[in-house]
Amino acid sequence: GLNPETTVFSIASKSFRTPETLLNAYAARTWYRDAGLPDSGIYRHFCAISADVAAAQNFGISPDKVFAMSDWVGGRYSVWSPIGLPLMVAVGEKAFRKMLAGAHTMDTHFFETPFRRNIPVLMALINVWYNNFQHSDGQTVVPYSHNMRLFTPWLNQLDMESLGKQRTSDGQPVSCTTGGIVFGDEGVNCQHAYFQLLHQGTRLIPVDFIVPMTTVYGNHRQHRFTVANAFAQAEALMKGKTLDEVQIELAALPQDERDRLAPQKEFPGNRPSNSLLIDSLTPFNLGMLMAAYEHRTFVQGVIWRINPFDQWGVEYGKELAKTIEPELERGTPAHDSSTNGLIAFYRNCNARSKAV
């Protein structure tokens, strides 16, 4: 439904070699050609954000349309860099600058505040405590705001791509468990999904509740209900429910029914959570929150003596994909039997599809 004459594509790739990004760029270029635009006019509709200006030029984008970024900026830490250009276009320069100001405020807090009151340091220490001393497998992060529904997927990458390491910065095997599984969804929805595991499961899973105290939408009753649920879940996780309390709760039932139901309704409690309360969800507060989690990730890397700014495991998968992709069409795959079987199945499915 877009009009090619009034559409601009921003190609965001630090190396300008990321395959999935370039595939989309080539598809966009084909879309312009199919719309009848001459090659001489197509590249007016592209800009690039990259650390490799020459590679962007080779694609056809002139240097004055390349927003250069530093090569030391990791993708998951890059929203504050020129990579944030599409975000600024979406929300406007004023809101984007407020977000940057919020992040800067958290930076200053992190750099200047003593450890005992330093929010990212305390968050990191809590994570290390539950990860290494209480043997938790990870944590869940639950924003009680529909507008923050993509916050946890962002945090998935920030935390797990940074801290999923088996080697210290100097190449030695780590001496403790690092990283953890980070997952989550917006509240109240996820209360009807995986919260059962948090309350009565056999695994210890700490929770971060992120809760705006006010809403700008005028739906104050729904918002009050949402906040009440966040507070109630934190209380329930902490307090639990004893067998005696359950017996009193079921007092109106026959004794045999009480005895049958009571053990099922007992909650162990003592399940940890943090409540991160913000007065309202604004660009400034969102910037502070994101920066806090970034600094938390860095502090955990320091404690575990790992480098949170590389991701060799991700790179290895990309290298293998370059080999496998042409083999999906032709040639004799030379992999393990499992991978060869997957490639053969793909070829058979495609052969049948083309024959129909």
pLDDT digits 0-9 by tens, 48-57: 999 999 999 9
45 flagged as catalytic = no
User: How does residue 40 score in pLDDT terms, banded at 50, 70 and 90?
Assistant: confident
Q: What is the pLDDT of residues 253-299, one digit of tens each?
A: 999 999 999 999 999 999 999 999 999 999 999 999 999 999 999 99
Nearest in space to 199 (alpha carbons), one of 233, 245, 229 = 233
Phi and psi torsions of 140, nearest 5°: -115, 145
What is the average pLDDT across 8-35? 93
Q: Which of 20, 239, 318, 325 is catalytic?
A: 318
162 in Cβ contact with 314 (< 8 Å): no
Q: In this predicted structure, what is the pLDDT of residue 316?
A: 87
Q: Which of 14, 45, 65, 161 is catalytic?
A: 161
Q: Which residues, including other chains, have CB under 8 Å from residue 263's CB and lie 6 or more apart? A: 243
Rounded (10°) angle between helices 312-327 and 337-355:
50
Q: What is the pLDDT of residues 112-163, one digit of tens each?
A: 999 999 999 999 999 999 999 999 999 999 999 999 999 999 999 999 999 9
Phi and psi torsions of 209, nearest 5°: -95, 125
What is the average pLDDT across 105-113? 98
User: How does residue 4 score in pLDDT terms, banded at 50, 70 and 90?
Assistant: very high
Q: Residue 275: enclosing H or E segment and its boundaries? A: strand 273-278
Helix, strand, or coil (residue 208):
strand
Helix, strand, or coil (residue 277):
strand
296 in Cβ contact with 139 (< 8 Å): no
Q: In this predicted structure, what is the pLDDT of residue 182?
A: 97
What is the average pLDDT across 322-349? 94
Q: What is the pLDDT of residues 327-338, one digit of tens each?
A: 999 999 999 999
What is the average pLDDT across 63-84? 92
Q: In this predicted structure, what is the pLDDT of residue 16?
A: 92
Sheet holding 273-278, edge to edge: 181-183, 138-143, 207-212, 273-278
Q: In this predicted structure, what is the pLDDT of residue 257?
A: 94
Nearest in space to 6 (alpha carbons), one of 30, 39, 41 = 41
What is the average pLDDT across 34-46? 91
Angle (CA) 94 97 99, round 5°: 110
- For residue 183, list its beta bridge partners: 140
CA–CA distance from 321 to each of 186, 232, 325, 344 (Å)? Answer: 33, 46, 6, 16
Q: In this predicted structure, what is the pLDDT of residue 356?
A: 76
DSSP for 212-273, please give it. Answer: ES--SSS-HHHHHHHHHHHHHHHHHHHH-B-HHHHHHHTTTS-HHHHHHHGGGG-B-----E
- Supply the pTM of this predicted model: 0.92
For residue 71, pLDDT over 90 is answered with no
32-58 per-residue burial string, b: 16 or more CB within 10 A, e: under 16: beeeebeeeebbebbbbbbbbbebbbe
For residue 18, pLDDT over 90 is answered with no
Q: Which of 112, 192, 315, 354 is catalytic?
A: 192
Q: In this predicted structure, what is the pLDDT of residue 313?
A: 85
User: How does residue 75 score in pLDDT terms, banded at 50, 70 and 90?
Assistant: confident
Q: In this predicted structure, what is the pLDDT of residue 39?
A: 84
146 flagged as catalytic = no
Q: In this predicted structure, what is the pLDDT of residue 218?
A: 86
For residue 99, pLDDT over 80 is answered with yes
CA gap 186, 230 in Å, rounded: 11
220 flagged as catalytic = no
